[in-house]
Chains A and B, each alone.
Chain A
Amino acid sequence: MDTFVASLTLAALVFGFLASGLWVSVTLLVSGIAMMALFTPAPTGSLIASTLWDSSWGWELASLPLFVWMGEILFRSNMSRDMFRGLAPWVGRLPGGLLHVNVLGCAVMAAITGSSAVTCATIGRLSVPELEKRNYPIKDTIGTLAGSGTMGLLIPPSIVMIVYGVTAEQSIAQLFMAGVVPGLTLVCLYMGYVVLRSVIFSNDMPKPDPASSLVVKLKALVSLVPSIGLILMVIGSIYGGVATPTEAAAVGVIGALALSLFYRTLDWGNIKSGIMAAMQTSCMIAMIIAAASCLSIAIAYINLPGALAEWVAGLDLSPYALLAVLGALVLVMGCFLEGISIIVLTSSVVLPLVESAGINLVWFGIFLIILIEAAQITPPVGFNLFVLQSLTRRNILFIARATLPYFLLLIVLILIITVFPQMVTWLPNAMR
């Protein structure tokens, strides 16, 4: 009963304040304070303050402002213009054209960072203005970015995967491997959808460029050199074992500054406006993260996720029904909680349940991570949606609607790996 009342109050608080236009971070903060004061005996003020502090100085967080800053510097240099100019003759005639850059760009960025918001923000900063200039429908730009940004969690490096691996006592190396095929499948699903959409609604899309000769194509490659160089430098620093993913963000900033110098755009005005813009974006996202953890602590204290998981455990379901119910549960929790909290707060009930149902825990990890990816793009609390709102200045419902097909494709991916579990387990088993 208490759980029911608490859940309703939570939903009413979050939806009510968001609907009245209260800032997202403040909404989460106020809801956290209210939930804790209403439903727990804890000293609310001091717990909220110390939680806010504890969750705001994490080492993993530090890559957020750096990658955002990198994006801002690159945006102010002419690198993104050159990059799109270089890619246009190559993909311009493919249905969907440069929209594929969003999908592939996010996949590459996902191999650099473990955060979905960072993936989305960095690629989006570069591609949104370019795609707008070329008259791509903003809906598709937003959708591809929001959807592909979530790959930050599925493609290693991935903190969420590590947290799951340690919690479930599963091999992290195997989880990394297990994410590869579903990740590539997701890229194909997204690109396939973009192609399909642009064939069916070809009127919405910009007119395809005239076919360009090989000479033009090869010449265009030259303008790709700076961007490819930067990508190689950052990826190389991680996979060459020189830098951790967080350190790679700093390498990226240095690279971006060097490129900016190369493009002769490194003047005081650009430096100042670039870092101020990065500060604002990172401040907005980081404050939402910190406020979300205050709400998480309150929810954890009331033990809502645990109670819900216990309820599922009591249903005594068949494996497929169990997965369906758990999936729905994670999606609902994903509307309010961020991914790592979902794993930590439900694991003690859910993992034994899943294991006794005979479900492979590595497979379940990927299942869970794809669901958490989906949670990044479900309102009201969906980090990628907030990032895109701040990038495009569109309202969040517009963004959520534009993102819906990509959310559904994630669900399709869930169905595919449920029907063909080998897609997940094959590679880790082969590498053993």
Chain B
Amino acid sequence: MLRHVLDTVYKISGAAAALAIAAIAGSILVQLACRFAGVTFDATELAGFFMATATFLGLAHTFKSGGHVRITLTFDRLKGRPRRIIEVFNCLVAGSAVLFLSCYLIDLVGMSYEYHDISPGLLAVPFWIPQLMVSSGVVIFAIAILDELILILCGRRPSYDSTLSSDETPED
């Protein structure tokens, strides 16, 4: 049950990240079209906010499917227990760093809300809105890392490892 909920969360945030990329294209195209029509529409902020949204909401999904690069040299040679220990170490370090980050990002959202920080461009978007997207993405990322940690501790192979292996050719 929990498994299903978590996987759905990663999937939805990943899909939202993909939509944000489409939205970057959309807002820039609107800016272009408006210029031809002689209307001023500024996509600078909007595209930037969608960019941040895409990056951070995509973190967990990318993580789970092995999309974040790392150097697998040392432990490619390791098997069994030593390898598990290193994976646990990595997930612990990453998990605590990302958790630390998400606390302060949530803090940042609160601060922007409290201070009424508004973007300086033509659109005047309150900063807490895109920042909320960013911090949600980082929180989900933290959950995904801890999720992996527990899976590895239970003796499962990490899911981010399913495709990444040093010397085989990908099946694309």
Contacts and interface: CB of A to CB of B under 8 A. Distances in A.
Interface of A: 17-26, 29-30, 33, 45-46, 48-50, 52-53, 56-59, 61-62, 64-66, 69, 129, 132, 242-243, 246-247, 249-251, 253-254, 275-276, 278-284, 286-288, 290, 380, 386, 389-390, 392-398
Q: Is the interface of B mostly helix, strand, loop or mixed?
A: helix
A391 B47 CA distance: 26
Contacts of B49: 57
Contacts of B22: 275
B70 A24 contact: yes
B51 to A, nearest CB: 5
A45 B71 contact: no
B149 interface: no
Interface of B: 14-15, 17-18, 21-22, 24-25, 28-29, 31-32, 44-45, 47-52, 54-56, 58-59, 61-63, 65, 67-76, 86-87, 89-90, 93-94, 97-98, 100-101, 103-105, 107-108, 130-131, 134, 163-170, 172
Nearest to A59: B44
A24 B75 CA distance: 15
A52 B24 contact: no
Given A30-B94, A132-B169, A284-B68, 8 more contacts: A19-B73, A24-B71, A30-B97, A62-B47, A66-B25, A280-B67, A395-B73, A396-B73
Contacts of A62: 24, 28, 47-48, 50-51
21 contacts: A17-B93, A20-B74, A21-B72, A21-B74, A21-B90, A22-B93, A25-B68, A30-B94, A48-B101, A52-B105, A53-B108, A59-B48, A129-B172, A243-B32, A247-B32, A250-B25, A278-B18, A284-B68, A286-B55, A392-B170, A397-B71
Contact of A56 (B14, B24, B44, B56): B56
Contacts of A278: 18, 21
A389 B52 contact: no
A22 B108 contact: no
A321 to B, nearest CB: 35
Q: Is the interface of A mostly helix, strand, loop or mixed?
A: helix
B114 to A, nearest CB: 14
B101 A284 contact: no
Contacts of B74: 19-21
B131 A246 contact: no
Given A21-B90, A62-B51, A276 B172 contact: no
B71 A21 contact: yes
Contacts of B45: 57
B117 to A, nearest CB: 11
A52 B137 CA distance: 13
A250 B172 contact: no
Contacts of B131: 53
Nearest to A393: B170
Contacts of B134: 52-53, 56
A53 B105 CA distance: 8
A424 B63 CA distance: 44
Given A250-B29, A397-B71, A279 B62 contact: yes
A279 B18 contact: yes
A26 B69 contact: no
A20 B93 CA distance: 11
B53 to A, nearest CB: 9
Contacts of B47: 59, 62, 246
Nearest to A18: B71
Given A53-B108, A58-B51, A394-B167, A287 B68 contact: yes
B108 A49 contact: yes
Given A22-B93, A65-B51, A275-B21, A380 B71 contact: yes
